Amino acid sequence: MRLIELSPGRTVDEYLVMHRLMRTSEARASRAIRVGAWRDAQGWIATLKGSHAQLFGRAVPPIAGQLRTRPVLYGHRLHERAGLAPEHIEAELTALFDRFVDESRLRDIADADEVALWGAQFLERFFFVHPFDDGNGRIARMFVARVAREMAGVELNWQRGNSRRYVQALEYAHIHHPREGDEGRIRSHRKRDGTPRCWFGPLAAWIRTCVEDEEAM
Q: What's the CA gap between 12 and 57, in Å, rounded?
A: 20
**Residues 58/25, Cβ–Cβ less than 8 Å:** yes
CATH fold group of domain 3-216: Fic-like fold (1.10.3290)
Helix (H) or strand (E) holding 167: helix 163-176
pLDDT confidence of residue 4: 63
Full-model pTM: 0.85
pLDDT confidence of residue 7: 73
Give the range among 82-96, 157-171, 187-201 with minimum mean pLDDT. 187-201
**Residues 142/148, Cβ–Cβ less than 8 Å:** no
Share of the chain above pLDDT 90, in %: 64
**pLDDT of 108-139, one tens digit each?**
899 999 999 999 999 999 999 999 999 999 99
Q: What's the CA gap between 106 and 144, in Å, rounded?
A: 11
**pLDDT of 13-55, one tens digit each?**
877 887 788 888 999 999 999 999 999 999 999 999 999 999 9
Q: In the predicted model, what is the mean pLDDT of the chain?
A: 86
